[in-house]
Amino acid sequence: MSSVLTVRGGVPLTGRVKVRGAKNLVPKAMVAALLGNEPSVLRNVPEIKDVEVVTSLLQIHGVTVLKDPVTGDLTLDPQNAKTAPSTAIDAHAGDSRIPILFCGPLIHAIGEAFIPDLGGCKIGDRPIDYHLNVLRQFGAVVEKRPGGIHISAPKGLHGTKISLPYPSVGATEQVLLAATRADGITELTGAATEPEIVDLISVLQKMGAIISVQTDRTIRIEGVKELRGYSHRALPDRNEAASWASAALVTRGDIYVAGASQRDMMTFLNTYRKMGGGMDINDDGIRFYHQGGKLNPLVLETDVHPGFMTDWQQPLVVALTQAEGVSIVHETVYENRFGFTEALVRMGANIQVHRECLGSVPCRFGQRNFLHSAVVSGSTQLKGTDIDIPDLRGGFSHLIAALAATGTSRVTGIDVINRGYERFTSKLEGLGADFDVQNSRKSTPAAQISR
Ligand code: EPU
């Protein structure tokens, strides 16, 4: 059952939203609980689809997951972990990309893992070759089976030297989750160092792991025989915070993002300021606002941390349609993350996408026919239209474009947004957005929440 939003644009979003634990950390910390010999407690857990998927996958593997009805904190007890029926695992095929991170913890807990075919946003090919190569280097045997991949380690997992061809977030996490209880020392070079990875390392250290991170993208893990449980508060979702910050600029609004953390968003904050966005940084959150004058165009390149995060790109491109002049955006992390601009062009934006690397440094996608650079000319008045949401960040971007546009937009496929934005329709309502939610199957209003 899918929902449809009817959005009447032109209202500046004003008010306060709260961001909770990061989508790109929380499900992984939940998987890490499998490595312990006693229960773990995870706090600041958002109600999003990936948390549901991982809860279910853990439960079918015998992990007890209890949710505090008041705080939403999770207690995860792995002491009865067991092999899951393949039909139960298959039911999660295509739901998420997180299941690939179950490999190491399941091998340590029960000696084998079956991973269903993965889901996640269609923003490029998103292969898992780095993950499988890493696992093989630890001594795992990887077999393709109908509906997924079977992984075993007849001789256990052994520490090793690994060099990643690109600082992949997921592959770095794969190494961390496999290496902490592997026999011996693992040295990973070319690692990703995103704040969510550092938070996962904090979780593992609380469990008893020995992990050091050097400034040259080298991570060294000394394997230990046993890990205990952890008690951890997940770091806040900097990607959701940046999305609301862009929404404030696009709609000429003023949004206080409670929970936003300056430390994890420095590169975004510099960019926002260069564009002319207003911000007041407090201990418990950040106020983002349109200052009334013109917005400045930018030359921007996405990159791995500490560069400008790819997940910030799509909402910010909508804001760039409102800047005076020509902006250039070079996407170097995913080869296909500009598909969402097609709907923006239909709404009146002036955006051309190019195969060439329009940034300062040629990237992996330069000579390979991927439309991975964009030229945005502004400012343009956006007009409402019909939109079918393609992926998580692209979908949020379409939504804020519709909220800024003149006229009415009909937005389908909004359930994709629930994957990463907790209760986003309630948050929009609190910010004064003018919209209705309908259930598309019955096509009668299910929840009238317009103002
Ligand atoms: N890559 C490979 N082979 C692999 C793994 C990755 O070629 O085996 C490539 C990818 O195709 C991509 C690049 O390496 O071009 C980087 O991918 P990475 O592994 O870093 O991404 P990920 O772990 O799959 C996470 C986030 C993404 C975020 C990226 C980059 C989660 C669940 N997802 O994905 O979040 O964009 O890191 O920071 O943590 C989002 O939140 O909207 C989102 C897509």
Q: Write out pLDDT tens, residues 252-284.
A: 999 999 999 999 999 999 999 999 999 999 999
Query: How far is the centre of ligand 1, averaged over its atoms, from the C-alpha of 315 (Å)?
Result: 18
Say which residue the tokens 């902490």 belong to: 180
Angle at 173 between CA 141 and CA 261, to 5 degrees: 170
Look at residue 118 in the predicted model and tell me its pLDDT. Answer: 79
pLDDT recorded at residue 449: 30
Please state, for a pLDDT cut of 70, what percent of the chain lies above it.
96
* Residue 80 confidence (pLDDT): 96
State residue 1's pLDDT score: 55
Q: What is the pLDDT of residue 443?
A: 38
Taking a C-beta distance cutoff of 8 angstroms, is the pair 259, 284 a contact? yes
Residue 43 is predicted with a pLDDT of 98
pLDDT at 218 over 80: yes
Res 440: pLDDT: 61
Residue owning the nearest CA to atom 28 of ligand 1: 311
Q: How far is the CA of 268 from the centre of ligand 1 (A)?
A: 19
Burial 356-387 (b: 16+ CB within 10 A, else e): ebbbeeebebbeeebbbbbebbbbbebbbbeb
What local confidence, expressed as pLDDT, does residue 234 receive?
A: 98
Residue 121 annotated to the active site = yes
pLDDT of residue 361: 78
Kindly tell me the burial class for residue 41, based on how many C-beta atoms sit within 10 Å of its own C-beta (0-12, 13-18, 19 or more).
Answer: middle
446 has a pLDDT exceeding 70: no
CB atoms within 10 A of CB 350: 14
pLDDT in tens, 279-298: 999 999 999 999 999 999 99
CATH code given to domain 4-19+236-438: 3.65.10.10
More confident residue, 124 or 150: 150
Find the range with the poorest average confidence among 73-82, 106-115, 438-447.
438-447
* pLDDT above 90: percentage of residues in the chain: 85
pLDDT of residue 368: 85
The tokens of 116 are what?
A: 């269903």
Judge: domain 26-233, CATH 3.40.50.300.
no
The two domains 4-19+236-438 and 26-233 share their CATH topology (first three levels equal)? yes
Which of 120-124, 171-175, 367-371, 412-416 is predicted least confidently?
120-124
Which residues lie with the beta carbon below 6 Å from any ligand 1 atom?
23-24, 97, 121, 124-131, 166, 168-171, 192, 194, 239, 310-311, 333-334, 392-393, 420
- Torsion angles phi and psi, residue 421, rounded to 5: -125, 110
- Check residues 450 and 79 and name the one with the higher pLDDT: 79
Closest C-alpha residue for ligand 1 atom 17 = 168
- Indicate the annotated binding residues for UDP-N-acetyl-alpha-D-glucosamine: 97, 311, 333
Tell which atom from ligand 1 comes closest to the C-alpha of 173. 23
Largest CA distance in the chain: 65
In the predicted model, is pLDDT for residue 442 greater than 70? no
CA–centroid distance, 246 to ligand 1, in Å, is: 22
How far, CA to CA in Å, does 107 sit from each of 141, 200, 223, 433?
11, 19, 14, 48
Position 222 scores a pLDDT of: 98
Q: What is the mean pLDDT of residues 397-425?
A: 94
Query: What CA–CA distance (Å, rounded) separates 450 from 352?
Result: 34
Q: Which residues contact 125 (CB under 8 A, 6 or more apart)?
A: 335, 336
DSSP 294: P
Tell me if the bond preceding 379 is cis, omega within 30° of 0.
Answer: yes
Asked if pLDDT for residue 71 goes beyond 50, the answer is yes
Ligand 1, atom 29: closest residue by C-alpha = 169
Q: How far apart are CA 347 and CA 324, in angstroms?
A: 18
**Nearest Cα residue to 248 out of 289, 287, 296:** 289
Over residues 218-242, the mean pLDDT reads 98
Residue 94, pLDDT above cutoff 90: no
Name the closest-CA residue to atom 41, ligand 1.
311
pLDDT of residue 448: 33
For a substitution probing ligand 1, which of 131, 169, 305 has the most ligand atoms within 8 Å of its CB? 169
Q: What is the 3-state secondary structure (H, E, C) of 175-216?
A: HHHHHCCCECEEEEECCCCCHHHHHHHHHHHHHCCEEEECCC
Surface-to-core class of residue 282, CB atoms within 10 Å of its CB (0-12 exposed, 13-18 middle, 19+ buried): exposed
- 82 CA from centroid of ligand 1 (Å): 29
Q: Of all helices (H) and strands (E), which one includes residue 59?
A: helix 49-60
Closest ligand 1 atom number to CA of residue 391: 42
Domain ranges of the chain: 4-19+236-438, 26-233
Is the pLDDT assigned to residue 451 strictly greater than 80?
A: no
Task: Categorize the per-residue pLDDT at 89 as very low, low, confident or very high, splitting at 50, 70 and 90.
Answer: confident
- pLDDT tens sequence across 336-359: 999 999 999 999 999 999 999 997
Which pLDDT belongs to residue 86?
A: 81
**Res. 447 pLDDT band, cuts 50 70 90:** very low
- pLDDT band (50, 70, 90) for residue 450: very low
Q: How far is it, in rounded angstroms, from Cα 300 to Cα 297?
A: 10
Mean of per-residue pLDDT scores for the chain: 93
**How much distance in Å is there from the Cα of 280 to the middle of ligand 1?**
31
Q: What does the pLDDT read at residue 441?
A: 52
Residues 432, 50, 195, 229, CA torsion sign? positive
Of 95, 110, 98, 108, give the one whose Cα is nearest residue 135. Answer: 108
What residues form the annotated binding site for phosphoenolpyruvate? 23-24
Tokens of 181: 């209880």
Q: For a substitution probing ligand 1, which of 51, 166, 308, 332 has the most ligand atoms within 8 Å of its CB? A: 166
pTM of the model: 0.95
